[in-house]
Amino acid sequence: MTEVDSRAIAITGMGAISAFGEGAEALWSGLREGQSGIRPLRHERAADLRVRIAAQVPESFDPAAHFGERALPMLDRASQFALFAANEAIVQSGLDFAAGGLGGRTGVVVGTGVGGETTQDEQSRRLYAENATRLHPLTIVRLMINAPASQISMAHGLRGPSFAVASACASTNHAIAQAALMIRAGLIDVAVAGGTEACLSYGALRAWEAMRVLADDTCRPFSANRRGLVLGEGAGVFVLESMAHARARGAHILGVLAGVGMSADAGDIVAPDPAGSGSAMTQALADAGLSPEDIDYINAHGTGTPANDPTETRAIHAVFGAHAPKLAVSSTKSMHGHALGASGALELVAVLGALRDGVVPPTANLDVADPACDLDYVPNQPRALKVRAALSNSFAFGGLNAVLAVRAA
């Protein structure tokens, strides 16, 4: 085995739930066709809100159909999403964690920006608006930010290192990076890793309104008439294995996590810095042993805000130089919304789909050219393209950056 192979991580399972419905294939099918999961906001207090649109998991998702009566009271919506996606990923991987003590050599790392926000919101309403003197006895175990990771580990008997990662919109990519580094270090052989978010509570929506970064029509990344981000929700979870472990059992490998890059801007709490995001991309390439010319596609952070899109464009130019105009760059947030800590998970599904099918998902709603955003953003229509390797960018408030380098198996 080469040194590159010894550091590379096999992705052998993926699962998701998103605005496109249940399952990773439902998400990828919608993205590769350029469909939109952004719809009018469903919320009991929608009339009180200025925000009118979101990318929400469909009402057809019935938690009771997936989780038992004893488990369901302990599961916040964020944990429901994570456990659903993990179950799908584990089934696809074909792993039996009870065999040969594998459960003890398997870790769980789940990223989330806010954790059990719906529980927090519901119980705060009871306490402050309804003057309740007692809260639900399972409030803490539902809202704690490590609950999704803990629920996955308990459901599948995974006794390796299990924990949460919270770095706002970079949470998933940081979680996957931590899982990969533990596998490389020999601490574990397998990891179940990804991200989840259920952030569309009344309090959170009001808070996002106050920031004045939400679009009122749709999400238009890199377009001159972009008006902000559109919030989303969902989860994506992946089974990661050392390459030796995956090959020894003859696993079907969906893609190879070849490298990771992480950095901090150490600047403004909300304004992005191209030097910081560029550093994470450069690190990911170096860690993967890839040159800029090896990359065919970048799934951009691409939020649709005035500040993010030109900053990310400048960072890509700085890292890729003369190769930058040859890249296919798209923001799938234009379709699945900005799911905060889960965004990187939904976007990794898109990257793996592009590698498998040779189709790059588009940047939807890109209809007015912006001179400050001058790359090939695959506007509005999917594109047939053989993708050898790709980057998936996640850049967060706080100036926290995490980039994954993924290549074909």
159-208 pLDDT tens trace: 999 999 999 999 999 999 999 999 999 999 999 999 999 999 999 999 99
CATH superfamily of 258-407: Thiolase/Chalcone synthase (3.40.47.10)
Alpha-carbon torsion angle 264, 266, 270, 271, nearest 10: -100
* List 169, 199, 219, 373, catalytic entry: 169
Task: Quickly tell me which residue has 């609950």 as its tokens.
Answer: 147
| One fold for 3-248 and 258-407 | yes
- Candidates 152, 167, 57; CA nearest to 112 is 167
**What is the model's pLDDT at position 6?**
75
User: What mean pLDDT is predicted for residues 378-393?
Assistant: 98
Indicate if the pLDDT at residue 3 is higher than 70.
no
Q: pLDDT (tens digit, 9 = 90+) per residue, 121-163?
A: 999 999 999 999 999 999 999 999 999 999 999 999 999 999 9
- Whether the full predicted model's pTM is greater than 0.75, yes or no, is yes
Q: Which two tokens stand for residue 175?
A: 């979680």
Q: pLDDT (tens digit, 9 = 90+) per residue, 219-256?
A: 999 999 999 999 999 999 999 999 999 999 999 999 99
User: Any catalytic annotation for residue 136?
Assistant: no
Q: Is 397 helix (H, G, I), strand (E, B) or coil?
A: coil
User: Any catalytic annotation for residue 43?
Assistant: no
**What is the model's pLDDT at position 291?**
98
**What is the model's pLDDT at position 2?**
55
Average pLDDT, the chain: 97
Instruction: Tell me the domain boundaries of the chain.
Output: 3-248, 258-407
Percent of the chain with pLDDT over 70: 99
User: What mean pLDDT is predicted for residues 206-214?
Assistant: 97
**What is the model's pLDDT at position 283?**
98
User: Any catalytic annotation for residue 301?
Assistant: yes
Q: pLDDT (tens digit, 9 = 90+) per residue, 261-285?
A: 999 999 999 999 999 999 999 999 9
What pairs with residue 261 in β-bridges?
403
Distance of CA 4 to the CA centre of its chain: 25
**What is the model's pLDDT at position 4?**
53
Handedness of CA 212, 218, 221, 227 (dihedral sign): negative
DSSP secondary structure code for residue 253 in this structure: P
**What is the model's pLDDT at position 137?**
96
Binning pLDDT at 50, 70 and 90, where does residue 214 land? very high
Please tell me the distance from the alpha carbon of residue 161 to that of residue 193, in angstroms, as a whole number. 11
User: What mean pLDDT is predicted for residues 7-15?
Assistant: 97
Q: Which two tokens stand for residue 373?
A: 């955003």
Burial degree of 58 (CB within 10 A; 0-12, 13-18, 19+):
middle
Please tell me the distance from the alpha carbon of residue 216 to that of residue 208, in angstroms, as a whole number. 12
Indicate if the pLDDT at residue 381 is higher than 50.
yes
For domain 3-248, give the CATH number.
3.40.47.10
* List 156, 174, 245, 301, catalytic entry: 301
Paired sense of beta strands 106-111 and 190-197, if any? parallel
**What is the model's pLDDT at position 1?**
45
* List 156, 174, 245, 338, catalytic entry: 338
